[in-house]
Amino acid sequence: MSRILAFLLALATAAEAKTPEPPKSLVPKGWKCVEAASGDLNRDGKDDWVLKLGAEAKGKAKGERLLVALTKGAAFDVVSHLAKAPDSVAVDDGVLQLIYQKKGNPFELQTEFFSWKWEQDRFRLASYSGKVTTYGKNAGTESGGSDVRVDFSTRQVESSQWALNMKKASLRCDLPESYAVPEFASFDAETALRPPGCAKP
């Protein structure tokens, strides 16, 4: 079994094992919950819910969307949704993480984390982490890659590259003023402009 396949299987198994059971009232008619995460998103001491929903059509899922609901006493307030759901969702220390994975070719895996914080009654993008890992054709081991990390509160960017038998090279820079930070309400990972890495001096 290749390392890429083993990694994807481990991620799927972990997500399935930790997926909590969401309140049935949050799942709209004609939809089913594919994945759920819970945690205190708005810092009021109550667990909120993030649901990845799949539309049911003759028993088969057709299309997916994301629903975010804040707990209000015995009820829920649906505050946000995305027309296109990510590959996976998580809530880590009050931060909503949207996780995307894509295989560029049989020997390349791209993983992205968009981390959102609830501030002033809406989600704001707090950080971004994008990593591309390449694998050797024979042994299936990592042979190199690159990553970009952005802290939007400071607009600081760190990018790095590495390869076998070569020291990891890292650069730090400021996020260009021209870069428009994505808004959650209209966020689409397929079309969103990624933060640029740092150019070599």
Do 71 and 49 contact (CB within 8 A), yes or no? yes
Paired with 90 in beta bridges are: 97
Distance from C-alpha of 87 to C-alpha of 93, rounded to nearest angstrom: 20
Distance between CA atoms of residues 89 and 182, nearest Å: 18
**Which pLDDT tens digit goes with each residue over 55-78?**
876 655 567 899 999 999 889 999
Question: What single-letter amino acid sits at 157?
Answer: V
Q: Say which residue the tokens 């057709």 belong to.
A: 62
Question: pLDDT tens-digit profile of 169-187?
Answer: 899 999 999 999 999 988 9
pTM exceeding 0.85? no
Burial class (CB in 10 A: 0-12, 13-18, 19+), 161: middle
